[in-house]
Structures are given as C-alpha cells and as structure tokens.
Amino acid sequence: MDSRTNSQQGDGSRRPHTKGTDASDAEMTNSLYIHGGGIALKMIHEEGGGFRLTYLGPEAGAADAPSAAVPVLPAGPDAPPAASLLAQRGHGYAGAGHADAVRMTDGRSARLSPVSIERLAADRLVLRSADASLGLSADVELHLSNGLMRARTRLRNAGPHPILLIRCAALQLPLMDWATQVITSHGAWAREGHELRRSFEGGFVGRTSRLGRSGFDGPPGVTVCDASTTDSAGRALGVQLAWSGSYLIQAERQRDGAAELGAEALYEPGEVVLEPGDQFETPEVLVAVSAAGFDGLRDVWHSHARCLVRPVSRPVHFNTWEARYFDFDEASLIDLAAQARDLGVERFVLDDGWFSGRRNDKTSLGDWTPDVERFSNGLAPLIAAVHGLGMQFGLWVEPEMVSRESCLYRAHPEWALGYPDPEAPTGRNQLVLDLGNPEVCDFLFEALANLLRPGGISYLKWDCNRELYPATSSGSFRANAQVLGLYSLLDRLQAEFPDVEIESCASGGGRIDFGILPRVMRFWASDATDAEDRIRIQDSLSRYIPLELMGSHVGPSPNPITGRSFPMLFRGLVSVFGHFGVELDPARLSLDDRNMLAGLIALYKRVRPVAVRGTYRVLSAIDPAVHASTMTSEDGNEFVLRVLRTAMSDYPLQPRIVIPDLPAGARYRAVELLPGNDARTDAGEYSSEALAWTGFGGDPRRPHHGRLFHFVRIQ
C-alpha cells in the first residue's frame, strides 16, 4: 500500500472495504471467509470495531458459525470497540492493542485505523490499517495451511519523519468463548519441562523472556482450552512465536468478558526506528487449533516442524563431555572413539576443550583453531581416525561467545556486548559477541568455514551458554539485531555447507523454538541426563517438537546432577524414543552394563524406522508410577509400546495398559523387543478392540525398569 492510498483511507473516517477472489465475497459485504489445511477462519468488520474474528477452528464447523453483535454496555463507549485483530487503543478498547509507535520529531502517537481487508487466495488474507498523518501503515497477513494459521505484521513508514516503534504484536488474536483455561510451561537449568494449567477468568496470564533468548521454561507459546479438554478430546488452541529472542505471550480477559491472546517480540527502548521509506517485519506467529484435545495439537506442531527441518538419518551419537570434560588429547580421543564404535555408535562428537588454549571454561572462546599442544597436526588425524572406525565426526562450537582471556577479545573488545564497560557482567565467565555487527558475523563465518571446508566434519553442536546482559553496544540496545544476526549467520552456513547438520544447544534446554528450528536439525533437550527427569522433560517438549529432533543420551550413573542411580536398561529405554546418544565413559562401565548398552543401541536401530517421523502418544495409566507411550509408524501398520515404571505400585497386581484409537477391526501380532540385534519374545495376538477395552499387560513390575513391545498389524 502506498502513501497515497494511506492518505485517502487511513484516517478511519471511511468504512474499510472488503475485496475477494470469488462470488462468495459479494454475499458477505463486510465479512470474509478463508480455509485451508483442514481449518477455516471467518471475519467481519463492524463500524468502530476493527476486524472481528467470528470463527477459527476445524473447517467442518465454519459454515454455520454465528456472528453475535457486540452490545453497547452501560458506562461504555457508544461504539463498542470489541476484541479484534489490529485492535488499537483510543476508542475505549481496554486491551494492550496491536502496536505502539510515535513520530520522533514531535512525539505524536500512531493511531492505526482499519483500511481494507483483502483475500489473496482461498487460504490467505491480509488486513490493512494506517495512520495517514504519520504515513505509517500496518499489514497483517494470515495464511492457513497444514492445520495451522501463520501470521505476521509488516510496518511501513511512508511519511517524511522517523517513527520509533515501541512495541508491535505479531498477532493480537480474539479468543472464542470456550477458551477458559490456559496452560503455560516453566523450568530452570536442568529442571525443564514443568507445566501449569489454570482457569482464565479475569486479568491476564502471560509468559515472557527479557534476557534476549527463549529459555529453560520452554518454547515461547501458550495453549488455551476449555475446562473439559483432555489429551484425546476437547477444544484446544496453541500459539507459538517463531522467535529466539525476548518475547511476551499473554492471554487477557477484558472487563466485558471478551478474551484475546497476543504474541510479540520485545523491543528495547530506541531499538527499532523506521526511517522514511523503511519497512519492518515482526516474527511469524503460529496458531494451531484442535477438536481432538492436546494430541491433536501435538500432531499439528509435529507436522509443521517436520516441514521445516531437512530429513536426516538420526545416527547414534557419542558425545565426549561427560566422558572426558577438558581432560583429553588426540590419542585418548582415538581410544575413546574405538570404545564408542564397539558399542555401535555411528557419530563421534568432540565437545568443549579442543581449541587454542582451552583448559577450562574461563578462557579462549573466540579462538576457533585447534590447540597445538593437543593436536599438533590439527584435527585432521583425529577426524581420519574416527572415519576409519566407520563413524561420522562432529564438533562442539560456541560462536556467539567470547572470553576476556582470548586473542579475539584482546584484538576486538568493541565486538562484545557491554562495550565499552570493562566490568560488563559475564556468565559462565564469558561475554556475548555483537552479532548485529556485520564484521563480527563475517569473522565467525570464516572461522567456522575454515573448520568445515577441508571436509570431514558433518555435524556442529552449536552451544549458547548464557543470555544477553547487557544487550547493548556503545550504549545502544542490540537484542533484536542479535537474533537477526544469528539467523543470518546460520542461514549463510547452511547455504555454504548444506550437508552439515547443526544442533541447537543453549545450556541444555534453552532456545528451543520455531524461530531457530528451520536452521537446525536437532535440539539438546536438557543438560539433565537423569533418566527419570528426562521422561518429564521430553514429554513436555514433545507437545511441540517431534522426539526425533531431541538429543536423548544415556548418561552416567550416579547421575552427575541429581546423584540418582538407575539401571542401564531403564536409562536406555528412556532414550529410545528420542535421538539416541551416549554421554559417559565406557571404560568405567561394568562388563554387564557395557553389553547392555551395546544391546540398547542395537535395539534403538531396530525401532528407528518407526520412531523417526512417528506419531507419539502418552497413554493414560491407572497406576501413576507407570509411564506408557507409543510411537506409531507413518503408515499406521505398526507401533512400538514403551512401558516405564518409576516407583512401586500400591498393589501387587498390575493394571493393564489401555491402547486407544487403533483402527476398528484390526488385529496385531506383538513381540517383546529385548536389547540386542534381534532378541525378542512372542507376546501374542490382539484385536484393536481388546487393546482399547481390556488393555495390554506389559508392566515391568520393578521400579526403574522398563519393557518395549512391537505391534505389527496382521489384519
């Protein structure tokens, strides 16, 4: 939309017009309907009320969705503003509003008024608003596909003066009346994966991150539902902001009872200025809807995530960190790699400590060349040895960070956030490089490219061990530019080295979100490798992220964080439904545990064809100390049942595990899978009706033990 169009229609004095692409629009003078990917959206414009959402849900329910009028309330505005997309304060609307901006020359605030609503295609529309006096316009594009709605806001300054953007929602979404409960997640380092479900009767419920990174409390999003929604039934709506920086997600119920949900990146004061002619785009927000409970949402999120990520083979990992920490040299690593190969490992990943001068976590970040004392001929001999053992080679890096004790910092202290403060606060003894500075990104690209160009490194474990504080350079805020710089650097590396896989690790479970997801192939779900904690962490994350994207490693026992001990079988079965890995010293294992671990790796390889891109379900169990879950193949003809017992049962007789939602009339042959290349025992034949009504008796009986069963459809 050009400035001439804004000046004609942006003062709000004219009623917005509706454009469309087929005859149905002529029948809906001030309403619009789009559909795609199994969902539909209906909107209506009301004088003074903006663009009001009348339906968002399964496509089958859209045709007869009623549109209730918004009444004039006592002591309220004569023209009720109502909750709407592109809602703006100034008309008696009590919500946060879509955007806040001011003209920098005189402080005049923006007042965006509806201009037009246009259907671009059967599954896509754009909402336009403008403030003609400032020359500011805002477009919100909504696109329905693959079971979800995608939206973002684009701002343009067509005026003669700079405009300071204070805040702008990617989407401000009115909620349906049934959205009476909100589910949020919370957590801390090595304690991720907790969820809280609460009633949403008044005020607002929100989640926020102000430290420049999505964090240990999970991806930036929330779920709303009605009071009766369960995993398998009921109405639910989920929102995810595709952004890896500071954010605010909030659900708010207004004084009149209307509710809305907003998702936005947080911008620091002065960070976003639109000069004349500038355009600005918010991150994308994703909205998933389900009439089949939380499992329905899970399926939508998983489908979308798999569309974003390049399919890879998910080889068994060995990571050196908890085996060696900083104590290694070339010879000891080659020996460790040989032990990993004997277990059945397919990828060997060298963690922290390989680069120049790195002996602890206080030094050398930024100096990305191999340490000459440990690797006199560089990494090439180690890489060749690992390849000679039949494994891929991966390498740990932390490119966004710099140590004060490093050649890079001594040469370029101005490249660190916090400059010029010599006492800028550190985290894990390190500072953050300013990725909003193109010189910094160019340097990092070349440093990483120098490692990758010779070949042999097929995997980068990309770590980020601290948040942004202060997120400034020379006194100016840089948090937004930092995220965009990170994305640009990752995109550039993927373009240059398309076969290299990248794992996102941020002190474990930080920075797991749909913004960074298209740029990585794997997440490190948590630094906690405690098997019992990992059940909770991985299940919580699986509400959004497919399990094959989560690194799930067998760690030492006792666990180095919790001190708890678990049998090797239990640790391995917890990892089987994720991206299986090993993070311990094989030389410290007993012969029985070493053989068991090798058997579990072979077991993972057997179920990997089902687990990768499979449909994950957590089953309801009568016994709270039993965790039962299934992974079903893409074609639906086989599934794997995993049963884990975390504590003693109240009763000696164990209740059966019900397996619902199988095709009617189907029959299955079941075998119990045992650790090893082809170890199994027959477990009988069952109808889908019997499994759903009577259940299956697969309880492992003893605490911290588990069993794995493979069901193949025979009828």
The yes-or-no verdict on residue 174 having pLDDT over 50 is: yes
The pLDDT tens digits for 534-551 are 999 999 999 999 999 999
7 band by pLDDT with thresholds 50, 70 and 90: very low
The yes-or-no verdict on residue 219 having pLDDT over 90 is: yes
pLDDT at 383: 98
The yes-or-no verdict on residue 92 having pLDDT over 50 is: yes
Q: Write the CA distances from 238 to 148, 248, 295, 310, 619, integer angstroms.
A: 9, 15, 12, 24, 21
Residue 527, helix vs strand vs coil: coil
The pLDDT tens digits for 36-60 are 999 999 988 766 567 888 899 999 8
The pLDDT tens digits for 665-684 are 999 999 999 999 888 999 99
Domains and CATH numbers, the chain: 3-63+80-308 (2.70.98.60), 317-612 (3.20.20.70), 616-713 (2.60.40.1180)
Query: How far is it, in rounded angstroms, from Cα 555 to Cα 560?
Result: 9
Average pLDDT of the chain?
92
Which residues touch 512 (CB under 8 Å, ≥6 apart)? 214, 218, 219, 504, 506, 523, 525, 541, 545
Which residues touch 69 (CB under 8 Å, ≥6 apart)? none
Comparison of pLDDT for 66 and 18, the residue scoring more: 66
232 band by pLDDT with thresholds 50, 70 and 90: very high
Residues 579, 581, 586, CA angle at the centre, nearest 5°? 170
12 band by pLDDT with thresholds 50, 70 and 90: very low
Q: Is 542 left (phi over 0), alpha (psi -120 to 50) or beta?
A: alpha
Task: Look up residue 227 and give its amino acid.
Answer: A
pLDDT at 17: 46
- Name the nearest CA neighbour of 178 among 75, 74, 87, 61: 61
568 band by pLDDT with thresholds 50, 70 and 90: very high
The pLDDT tens digits for 292-324 are 999 999 999 999 999 999 999 999 999 999 999
31 band by pLDDT with thresholds 50, 70 and 90: confident
Write down the H helix ranges in 122-184: none
Tell me the β-bridge partners of 103.
Answer: 163
CA-CA-CA-CA torsion sign (539, 537, 300, 64) = positive
* Mean per-residue pLDDT, 581-602: 98
254 band by pLDDT with thresholds 50, 70 and 90: confident
1 band by pLDDT with thresholds 50, 70 and 90: very low
The yes-or-no verdict on residue 10 having pLDDT over 60 is: no
Which residues touch 394 (CB under 8 Å, ≥6 apart)? 317, 347, 348, 349, 350, 457, 458, 459, 460, 461, 501
Tell me the β-bridge partners of 1.
Answer: none
pLDDT at 26: 31
Which residues touch 472 (CB under 8 Å, ≥6 apart)? 417, 418, 478
Comparison of pLDDT for 64 and 376, the residue scoring more: 376
pLDDT at 18: 46
| Least confident among 257-261, 398-402, 638-642 | 257-261
Comparison of pLDDT for 240 and 14, the residue scoring more: 240
The pLDDT tens digits for 426-462 are 999 999 999 999 999 999 999 999 999 999 999 999 9
pLDDT at 48: 59
CA-CA-CA-CA torsion sign (601, 605, 606, 611) = positive
5 band by pLDDT with thresholds 50, 70 and 90: very low
**Angle (deg, nearest 10), helices 380-388 and 330-343:** 20
pLDDT at 25: 36
The pLDDT tens digits for 469-490 are 999 999 999 999 999 999 999 9
73 band by pLDDT with thresholds 50, 70 and 90: confident
85 band by pLDDT with thresholds 50, 70 and 90: confident
What pTM value is reported for the model? Answer: 0.93
- Name the nearest CA neighbour of 344 among 684, 592, 676, 11: 676
Comparison of pLDDT for 652 and 640, the residue scoring more: 640
91 band by pLDDT with thresholds 50, 70 and 90: confident
Comparison of pLDDT for 548 and 23, the residue scoring more: 548
88 band by pLDDT with thresholds 50, 70 and 90: confident
Percent of the chain with pLDDT over 90: 83
Active-site annotation, residues = 463, 527
Q: Write the CA distances from 597 to 226, 580, 604, 646, 703, integer angstroms.
A: 44, 11, 10, 20, 19
